[in-house]
Amino acid sequence: MEKEKKINASVEATSNKQVIYREPVRGSLKETHLGVRTSSERLKADEDSGAIAVKNLYLACDPYNLNLIKFSAQLGSPIPGYGVARVLESGHPNFKKGDLVWGMTGWEEYSLITAPESCFKIEHTDVPLSYYTGLLGMPGVTAYAGFFEVSSPKKGETVFISAAAGAVGQLVGQFAKLLGCYVVGSAGSKEKVDLLKNKFGFDDAFNYKEEQDLDAVLKRCFPEGIDVYFDNVGGKMLDAVLPNMKLRGRITVCGMISQYSLEQPEGVHNLMNLLLKRVRMEGFVVSDHYHLYPKFLEMVLPLIREGKIVYMEDIAEGLKNGPAALVGVFSGRNVGKQVVVVSRE
Amino acid sequence: MEKEKKINASVEATSNKQVIYREPVRGSLKETHLGVRTSSERLKADEDSGAIAVKNLYLACDPYNLNLIKFSAQLGSPIPGYGVARVLESGHPNFKKGDLVWGMTGWEEYSLITAPESCFKIEHTDVPLSYYTGLLGMPGVTAYAGFFEVSSPKKGETVFISAAAGAVGQLVGQFAKLLGCYVVGSAGSKEKVDLLKNKFGFDDAFNYKEEQDLDAVLKRCFPEGIDVYFDNVGGKMLDAVLPNMKLRGRITVCGMISQYSLEQPEGVHNLMNLLLKRVRMEGFVVSDHYHLYPKFLEMVLPLIREGKIVYMEDIAEGLKNGPAALVGVFSGRNVGKQVVVVSRE
């Protein structure tokens, strides 16, 4: 109620292309659940409204978007998502016209952000702006907090990362290498496995789709066991990892992408290993860790500038290609972080 | 090799009743896996042997015994287990004749303990000696370490304990009440549920065998969710608890008794809640926490003397009744901590 009262936005006739939520998603996300339309209305943020009106530049495609769609999207309205945007009008004291921000916005050319307190102002523009949808945005803080804060990693430990070629996984692997860990990743294609080994500097990597016996490949990669499992997928891989954990290992549950599209989640049978090996398994969500963002930037910006962290994006041009790009994330079609370019300004 | 060289035990002809491991255990433990015999030999601990020869007084029956039998017992030899014993001869500088100890011994009248360093000397005898198989022994430290060290409990939090009438569960519940938590326990009979509510001071308790819908009963007991789940059973109860955890809840995996007798462990489907609720799930074993034993005694002995902690034992008289007593633990036949009296001296 308070919020609604404060916002005193006005509507201006203009063209605003949007990706809207057309049909309720049950199992997996399909392109038919989404639609592209051009609205002739655009919301403006009046002075003291507390809101900001923005022009969206880049949108992030993450597994997380499916939860956003399922739990926050309104049928017939643009789907929400993380993005990078330019402030056109500000009714909020923290922002002024021309500022660049990243945070929760809509899949459309122009958005009204009614709670801009949760957006981050972009101060450093000597790196590609699109990076703020990934490496320097939500997935970046996710990798940083999930690895350094939740996983309690130590130099020399063994680290296994699933969905390792994804936005979060490729960073966790590089952070782990920088710390001096032995790092192995799994991914779903030969191309991604090659990238992990040759571009991201992983010690080893495998294509889980080509392995009949996940337990055997984990034993081959980690003859002495796994200290840290950074879990992005859950399900069968988690079950295979559990008996391969080392004493006092840690399983950081960052995502369970293998389960998101199932109506009934799979059963995990090997939890007894938590007891036998004194393993700590912990879920986390990045929003609890955003206070670390300045500390994270301080670490990661120099590493990017010095080329000590590499980062790969898979770019889809234009909102009209957005639905296909987003759906592709769930089948692992993208190589590197999937980004939708709305406008290069 | 070192150990074998050091032990210079001799054999004396005498009578030594023993519970031996007769047949390999696959699924659940049955009385036919064990046998009672009287041996005519008895090992003695010679000076400087590093071993101690003891007369066993009380033996503990815990779910843990099944793992000991499966992984440490030798066919044809007495099964190992925790117990309270009197030192008859000592070849170890830490112990002398007449000392009372608790620790790993054998299910027999007389044992030779070859690594007595892992035994604890009993200093306080103004409490029943049998308590050192439970409240003041391994299960006591388990409850103490698992609750205070692993579960990070806070006053006012909600605590759920499965197998709550068992040796560990009844203590965890009382520790939680003393801390000012809201405590609910599950058990497998009306009698145990009554004990939890009327003797051990739990706020509520239920008989899981009579509940069709574990989720519904947990929601009724914890309308706002569970902060700490002290898990002694695993399986279906764990699966029902997961969606009922509160944000940043903790699941302490102390045991998974529902799974020990299964050839294939059950699948747990609701692990996604670890992520959604940022739950930490952690296994522990008591042997990592024995350094806390003096601190534990300092807290618990006054509480026992002041009657602020109550404790229940289920006593089986004589080694010949040992196999039935031990098997009964896995079907929940016992009420309170199951103890086998070998000798009252």
What pLDDT is stored for residue A64 in this prediction?
85
For every residue of B150-170, DSSP letters joined together read IS---TT-EEEESSTTSHHHH
Which residue from A212, A234, A215 is spatially nearest to A281, judged by alpha carbons?
A234
- φ, ψ for residue B319, nearest 5 deg: -60, -35
Nearest to B234 among A259, A271, A278 (CB): A271
With beta carbons under 8 A apart, name residues in chain A contacting B259: 272
Q: Decide if A256 and B277 are in contact by the 8 Å CB cutoff.
A: no
Q: Report DSSP state, residue B108.
A: B
Cα angle A45, A48, A54 (rounded to 5 degrees) comes to 25
A-B CB pairs within 8 A amount to 91
> Based on the structure, what is the number of domains in chain B?
2
Residue B73 CA to residue B204 CA, distance in Å, equals 39
What pLDDT is stored for residue B4 in this prediction?
44
Q: Report DSSP state, residue B267.
A: P
Nearest to A269 among B254, B267, B280 (CB): B267
Write down the mean pLDDT value for chain A. 92
Nearest to A281 among B259, B274, B276 (CB): B274
Residue B168 CA to residue B135 CA, distance in Å, equals 8
Nearest CA in chain A to B286: A278
Give chain B's length: 345
For residue A100, list its beta bridge partners. A86
Encode chain B (345 residues) as per-residue pLDDT tens digits: 344 444 555 666 579 999 999 999 988 899 999 999 999 877 788 888 999 999 999 999 998 899 899 888 999 999 999 999 999 999 999 999 999 999 999 999 999 999 999 999 999 999 999 999 999 999 999 999 999 999 999 999 999 999 999 889 999 999 999 999 999 999 999 999 999 999 999 999 999 999 999 999 999 999 999 999 999 999 999 999 999 999 999 999 998 877 777 778 889 999 999 999 999 999 998 989 999 999 999 999 999 999 999 998 999 999 999 999 999 998 888 888 999 999 998
Which residue from B241, B229, B234, B285 is spatially nearest to B258, judged by alpha carbons?
B234
Residue B31 CA to residue B34 CA, distance in Å, equals 5
Judge if B84 and B62 occupy the same domain.
Answer: yes
Q: Is residue A295 situated within a structural domain? A: no
Nearest to A283 among B238, B253, B274 (CB): B274
B288 and chain A in contact, CB less than 8 A? yes
Judge if B216 and B229 occupy the same domain.
Answer: yes
Judge if B13 and B99 occupy the same domain.
Answer: yes
- φ, ψ for residue A46, nearest 5 deg: -80, 160
CATH number of the domain enclosing B13: 3.90.180.10
- 3-state DSSP call for residue B110? strand
Residue holding tokens 């040796």? B167
CATH number of the domain enclosing A254: 3.40.50.720
Judge if B184 and B227 occupy the same domain.
Answer: yes
As a whole number of Å, the end-to-end CA separation of chain A is: 35
Residue B152 CA to residue A53 CA, distance in Å, equals 44
What pLDDT is stored for residue B44 in this prediction?
83
How far away is chain A from the Cα of B55, in angstroms, using its nearest Cα? 31
Which residue from A238, A268, A311 is spatially nearest to B235, judged by alpha carbons?
A268
Which residue from B35, B36, B45 is spatially nearest to B9, judged by alpha carbons?
B45
Q: Are B175 and B199 in contact (CB under 8 A)?
A: no
Pull the structure tokens for residue A99.
């500022």
Q: Are B136 and B31 in contact (CB under 8 A)?
A: no
- φ, ψ for residue B273, nearest 5 deg: -65, -25
Q: Decide if B279 and A282 are in contact by the 8 Å CB cutoff.
A: yes
Of these ranges, A188-192, A285-289, A312-316, B83-87, the one predicted with the greatest mean pLDDT is B83-87
Judge if B98 and B125 occupy the same domain.
Answer: yes
Judge if B31 and B109 occupy the same domain.
Answer: yes
Q: Is residue B164 situated within a structural domain? A: yes
Judge if B184 and B98 occupy the same domain.
Answer: no
- φ, ψ for residue B19, nearest 5 deg: -100, 115
How far away is chain B from the Cα of A262, in angstroms, using its nearest Cα? 11
What pLDDT is stored for residue A10 in this prediction?
62
Pull the structure tokens for residue B217.
């009963």
How far away is chain A from the Cα of B212, in angstroms, using its nearest Cα? 20
Q: Decide if A269 and B269 are in contact by the 8 Å CB cutoff.
A: no
What pLDDT is stored for residue B11 in this prediction?
62
Residue A321 CA to residue A341 CA, distance in Å, equals 9
Q: Is residue B81 situated within a structural domain? A: yes
Nearest to B271 among A268, A272, A275 (CB): A268
A5 has pLDDT over 50: no
What pLDDT is stored for residue B40 in this prediction?
87
Which residue from A13, A11, A12, A32 is spatially nearest to A21, judged by alpha carbons?
A32
Mean pLDDT of A181-200: 96
- φ, ψ for residue A111, nearest 5 deg: -130, 155
A274 and chain B in contact, CB less than 8 A? yes
For residue B280, list its beta bridge partners. A282, B250
Angle between helices B322-330 and B64-72 (to 10 degrees): 110
Q: Is residue A257 situated within a structural domain? A: yes
Q: How far, rounded to the nearest angstrom, does the alpha carbon of residue A84 sit from its chain's CA centroid?
A: 14
Q: Is residue A237 situated within a structural domain? A: yes
Q: Decide if A269 and B264 are in contact by the 8 Å CB cutoff.
A: yes
Residue ranges making up the domain that contains A106: 2-134+312-341
Judge if A143 and A271 occupy the same domain.
Answer: yes
With beta carbons under 8 A apart, name residues in chain B contacting A270: 265
Q: Decide if B285 and A275 are in contact by the 8 Å CB cutoff.
A: yes
Q: Are B231 and B254 in contact (CB under 8 A)?
A: yes
A247 and chain B in contact, CB less than 8 A? no
Nearest CA in chain A to B266: A269
Q: Is residue B305 situated within a structural domain? A: no
Residue holding tokens 């670890």? B274
B281 and chain A in contact, CB less than 8 A? yes
Judge if A145 and A223 occupy the same domain.
Answer: yes
With beta carbons under 8 A apart, name residues in chain A contacting B280: 280-283
A272 and chain B in contact, CB less than 8 A? yes
Judge if A206 and A95 occupy the same domain.
Answer: no
Residue B273 CA to residue A147 CA, distance in Å, equals 20
A310 has pLDDT over 60: yes
Q: Is residue B170 situated within a structural domain? A: yes
With beta carbons under 8 A apart, name residues in chain B contacting A240: none
What pLDDT is stored for residue A6 in this prediction?
47
B149 and chain A in contact, CB less than 8 A? no
Beta-strand ranges (E) seen in A6-113 are: 10-21, 34-44, 52-61, 80-90, 100-106, 110-113
As a whole number of Å, the end-to-end CA separation of chain B is: 35
- 3-state DSSP call for residue A289? helix
What pLDDT is stored for residue A335 in this prediction?
84
For residue B225, list its beta bridge partners. none
Pull the structure tokens for residue A192.
């991604």
Which residue from B284, B215, B219, B276 is spatially nearest to B248, judged by alpha carbons?
B276
Residue A246 CA to residue A277 CA, distance in Å, equals 6
Residue B342 CA to residue B231 CA, distance in Å, equals 31
pLDDT tens readout for residues A80-135: 999 999 999 999 999 999 999 999 999 999 999 999 999 999 999 999 999 999 99
Judge if B184 and B111 occupy the same domain.
Answer: no
B182-187 and A52-61 strand pairing = unpaired
Q: Are B44 and B10 in contact (CB under 8 A)?
A: yes
Say how many C-beta atoms besides its own lie within 10 A of residue A81's C-beta: 25
A275 and chain B in contact, CB less than 8 A? yes
Q: Report DSSP state, residue B329.
A: H
How far away is chain A from the Cα of B312, in angstroms, using its nearest Cα? 26
A11 and chain B in contact, CB less than 8 A? no
Q: Decide if A274 and B255 are in contact by the 8 Å CB cutoff.
A: no
A259 and chain B in contact, CB less than 8 A? yes
ipTM of this model? 0.79
Q: Report DSSP state, residue A150.
A: I
Residue A71 CA to residue B52 CA, distance in Å, equals 65
pLDDT tens readout for residues A40-58: 877 788 888 999 999 999 9
With beta carbons under 8 A apart, name residues in chain B contacting A145: none
- 3-state DSSP call for residue B268? strand
Nearest CA in chain B to A236: B267
Nearest CA in chain B to A284: B278
Pull the structure tokens for residue A100.
């660049």
Q: Is residue B298 situated within a structural domain? A: no
> What is the identity of the amino acid at A145?
A
A226-231 and B226-231 strand pairing = unpaired
Q: Helix %, strand %, coil % for chain A, to 5?
A: 35, 30, 35
Judge if B77 and B212 occupy the same domain.
Answer: no
Q: Decide if A253 and B238 are in contact by the 8 Å CB cutoff.
A: no
Nearest CA in chain B to A264: B269
